[in-house]
Amino acid sequence: MAQTKTEAAGLMSNKMHNKPLQLLNDWLSVRLSKEQLSWFDTQLDKISRSNSDRELHITLGMIPRKLDRADLYLTTRELTAADCLATGWHPQNWSIDIAARVAVICHLADHRPDRFNETLIDLCRNADLAESIALYSGLPLYPQNSGLDELIGEGLRTNIRSVFEAIAHHSPYPANHFDDNRWNHMVLKALFIDSRLAPIYGLDKRANPELARILCDYANERRAAGRPVTHELWRCVGPFAKGDMIDDLALAVNSDNHTEKQAALLALSAAPDSRAQTIITEHSVIANQIASGTLTWDAIQQQENTGKAA
């Protein structure tokens, strides 16, 4: 994969302070035994001294066997550090083997910057399920360059929800790198594979009129087929809703499902169309919740999570 000079220089400058690697090592060092850490250090060292990919493949393969597959259970402080390193990166679902595999890739950024993209693409091509999840989860931490675009496109085409979510959820990568077309199709695909929109970082910032139209079409297609429509999509429709879209939202407002009603009204509150305001005022209780700031998209998500737990 060809890289421009500037990109290659960007990769090189990373070498001086590989902050992602430092952070991941910090997390691992308080969770692994001395023996495990020493194995891992030895492997990283072998990788940097080796000319072939053999040690790299062995290390990535052995990580779940030698280390652990348990969750990291990051502390609030650690999660804050993650967000400081890459705003929007929320690795609360990461496991130890994911962190270690991503650390290996970050290590490669230092030791073979010229072949970084090529190596990562090859690893993804031959990855098992857990490896795919790990390699894609690390995207916000790798040297940022356009040479990985095709790889990420391939990853998003998967029907394996967990691999899709490794790219789309809790990561600033899509919001920072995708053009509107890729962004819109990612959001739409999330709906098609029963994934969630709320964990997509930058959902409000990247909302656009084209996506609003696509989502309304999708909602009408679902309704025509007698299938339920997730309330989450209205969030991306609201800011651009006018004309027929207001009618689409009005239908959702009249839903028997309380969450759908709340979501539709919340979306209408962001709509520039004057009809939106009229509809909201007909539902005074929810309108007051919106006005007072107690009903937000985060609140809806929390409400759902609590409902699920109960």
**Nearest-CA neighbor of 297 among 219, 231, 209?**
231
Collapsing DSSP to helix, strand or coil, 229 comes out as: coil
Q: Which is nearer to other proteins, 85 or 127 (CB)?
A: 127
- Residues 6 or more apart whose CB falls under 8 angstroms from that of 138 comprise 98, 101, 102, 105, 106
- Residues 6 or more apart whose CB falls under 8 angstroms from that of 235 comprise 197, 203, 204, 207, 263, 266, 267, 297
Residue 160 interacting with other proteins (CB under 8 A): yes
Residue 154 interacting with other proteins (CB under 8 A): no
Q: Which is nearer to other proteins, 71 or 217 (CB)?
A: 71
Q: By CB neighbour count within 10 A (0-12 exposed, 13-18 middle, 19+ buried), where does 231 fall?
A: buried
Q: Which one among 61, 153, 228, 272 touches other proteins, defined by CB under 8 A? A: 61
Q: What is the CA radius of gyration of the chain?
A: 22
Q: Report CA dihedral (33, 36, 38, 43) to the nearest 10 degrees.
A: -160
Draw the binding track, 118-137, toward other proteins (x: CB under 8 A; -: no contact).
Answer: -------xxxxxxxxx----
Residue 91 interacting with other proteins (CB under 8 A): no
One-letter identity of residue 214: I
Angle between helices 96-111 and 5-14 (to 10 degrees): 120
Min. distance of Cβ 147 from other proteins in angstroms? Answer: 22
One-letter identity of residue 289: Q
Stretch that binds other proteins, among 106-114, 159-167, 238-246, 261-269 (CB under 8 A): 159-167
Min. distance of Cβ 274 from other proteins in angstroms? Answer: 39
Q: Which is nearer to other proteins, 136 or 173 (CB)?
A: 136
Strand partners, 71: 95
Q: Which one among 19, 46, 57, 196 touches other proteins, defined by CB under 8 A? A: 57
Strand partners, 169: 200
Min. distance of Cβ 176 from other proteins in angstroms? Answer: 24
Draw the binding track, 15-54, toward other proteins (x: CB under 8 A; -: no contact).
Answer: ----------------------------------------
Min. distance of Cβ 101 from other proteins in angstroms? Answer: 11
Which residues are at the interface with other proteins (CB under 8 A)? 57-58, 61-62, 64-65, 69-71, 93, 95, 97-98, 125-133, 159-160, 162, 308
